Amino acid sequence: MSVVNVVDDGAGGSLVHVVTADPAARACPGCGVFATRLKDYRTTRPRHLPCGGRPVAVHWRKARWYCAETRCERGSFTEQIPQVTAGMRTTITLRRAAGAAVVDGGRTIVQTGRDLGLSWPVVHRCFISFAATALPAEPEATEAVGIDETRRGKPVWKQNPDTGKWELLADAWHIGFVDAIGGRGLFGQVEGRNAACVAAWLTLQPEHWKQHVKYVAIDLCATFRAAVRTALPDAVVVVDCFHIVQLAQRHLADLRRRLTWKQHGRRARKGDGIYTVRKLLRRNKEDLNPDQLTILNTELDQMGTYGRQIYAGWQAKELLRDLLRLAFKHTHTHPDRSAISAARHRFNTHIADHAHLPELVTLAETIDTWWDGIEAYITTGITNAASEGNNRLIKLEARNAFGFRNRANQRLRSRCATTRRARREQHPH
């Protein structure tokens, strides 16, 4: 376009009069023949971005031409340019800015519409178009994939009129697949929470991508492990260390509550020894100062047998942490096998000495069941922290949008919020 005149619209904005400056606009969109005979003029008002902090109103005076080709079905046509195609009421610059505001700016569709003066459906179409170009068409190659589930909203059920049974239309659970070590964000999501969903997504990925995956980080979920063994039989399953410690903390809490009820016949109250140290039991040993360690030993010893049993549960948790800590001591080199065996032997010996405590026995059995994945974590140091971080961003995106009605839009918005590819390209430093 070529600017003819710019005037003040009297409302704090600018009124810009433009005409077509592209000679190719005279080509008939039906046959491509350049027109030579003018029919009349039309004035359109496509919306555009503000300029210099002032809103801009564009008045485009464009010509209508008679098509010179007698065999062309179009008798006449109106000028159009790639930036503002026929029938469009917005410029391509405005549409790109709207899409970038949602995909890269982290703004909601409602907020973007208010800022740019567009309706919700228009901004949503801009978002879909921009996301298609900003997001990679297929997952980028990585050696480690993280799998975890997240829940948002409520499931949608509908009763089948023929059978009378209720059928699930939309599941509240979504399983995400992330880059566990490369920081590339979310590769994709599937609706559901079973092994078939996970295996189906992994199977549909390109063969070269699957061959590149060597490790899959998961929590203590047998469903994910079964799916990985089906779709990626050569990949090594790595159990996330956070969930292992969380499991030990949960068994310790169960042990504390059970023995507290045995001794007092009620929950712990202020003034009870176990009440005083209940929070210290959740702390790591290296985070306790000498005074706190003294309080922990003294209060539990005064409880008698039950207190000593609770202390044994706390020691079991710390021995398990000592085993997992070997991964941090050998970040750049593989830990010595003898060190792993010695740490595991100390843990198992402690459990055997307190085999009368069912919570500790259950913990040891779980560790034995998942030992291959735990050992893989110790030797590689790979965690599923990327999945947990992405889940936080996904939930934040859903809260900002006040929920989603369309599950496909939810997955696309989640992927845009957690994938940094477009941001890295725009801001490489």
CATH code, 233: 3.30.420.10
Do 234 and 316 belong together in one domain?
no
Kindly state whether residue 425 falls inside one of the protein's structural domains.
no
Kindly state whether residue 74 falls inside one of the protein's structural domains.
yes
Do 115 and 30 belong together in one domain?
no
Kindly state whether residue 335 falls inside one of the protein's structural domains.
yes
Per-residue pLDDT for 249 more than 90? Answer: yes
Q: How do residues 296-336 score in pLDDT, each as one tens digit?
A: 999 999 989 999 999 999 999 999 999 999 987 655 557 78
Kindly state whether residue 68 falls inside one of the protein's structural domains.
yes
- Per the structure, how many domains does the chain have? 4
Q: How do residues 342-391 score in pLDDT, each as one tens digit?
A: 999 999 999 999 999 999 999 999 999 999 999 999 999 999 999 999 99
Per-residue pLDDT for 423 more than 90? Answer: no
HEC string of the chain equals: CEEEEEEECCCCCEEEEEECCCHHHHECCCCCCECCEEEEEEEECCECCCECCECEEEEEEEEEEECCCCCCCCCEEECCECCECCCCCECHHHHHHHHHHHHCCCCCHHHHHHHHCCCHHHHHHHHHHHHHHHCCCCCCCCCEEEEEEEECCCCEEEECCCCCCEEEEECCEEEEEEECCCCCCEEEEEECCCHHHHHHHHHHCCHHHHHHCCEEEECCCHHHHHHHHHHCCCCEEEECHHHHHHHHHHHHHHHHHHHHHHHHCCCCCECEHHHHHCCHHHCCHHHCCHHHHHHHHHHHHHCCHHHHHHHHHHHHHHHHHHHHCHHHHCCCCCCCHHHHHHHHHHHHHHHHHCCCCHHHHHHHHHHHHCHHHHHHHHHHCCCCHHHHHHHHHHHHHHHHCCCCCCHHHHHHHHHHHHCCHHHHHHCCC
Q: How do residues 377-414 score in pLDDT, each as one tens digit?
A: 999 999 999 999 999 988 888 888 887 888 888 889 88
Question: Looking at 134, 154, 187, which one is the last position of a domain?
Answer: 134
Specify the pLDDT at position 51: 85
pTM of the model: 0.82
Kindly state whether residue 160 falls inside one of the protein's structural domains.
yes
Specify the pLDDT at position 241: 94
Kindly state whether residue 428 falls inside one of the protein's structural domains.
no
Q: Report CA torsion sign: 277, 281, 282, 287.
A: positive
Do 290 and 347 belong together in one domain?
yes
Kindly state whether residue 265 falls inside one of the protein's structural domains.
yes
CA distance 392 to 400: 12
Do 81 and 167 belong together in one domain?
no
Provide the pLDDT confidence category of residue 107 given band limits of 50, 70 and 90.
confident
Do 192 and 285 belong together in one domain?
no
Do 271 and 200 belong together in one domain?
no
Q: How do residues 255-298 score in pLDDT, each as one tens digit?
A: 999 999 998 999 989 888 899 999 999 999 999 999 999 999 99
Do 187 and 129 belong together in one domain?
no
Do 67 and 148 belong together in one domain?
no
Do 366 and 246 belong together in one domain?
yes
Do 188 and 285 belong together in one domain?
no
Do 310 and 353 belong together in one domain?
yes
Provide the pLDDT confidence category of residue 429 given band limits of 50, 70 and 90.
very low
Question: Looking at 108, 134, 160, which one is the last position of a domain?
Answer: 134
Q: In the predicted model, what is the mean pLDDT of the chain?
A: 89
Kindly state whether residue 424 falls inside one of the protein's structural domains.
no
Q: How do residues 60-93 score in pLDDT, each as one tens digit?
A: 998 999 988 888 888 888 988 888 888 888 999 9
Domain that holds residue 52: 2-89
Q: How do residues 119-178 score in pLDDT, each as one tens digit?
A: 999 999 999 999 998 888 888 899 999 999 998 778 888 888 888 899 888 888 899 999
Do 261 and 357 belong together in one domain?
yes
Specify the pLDDT at position 401: 83
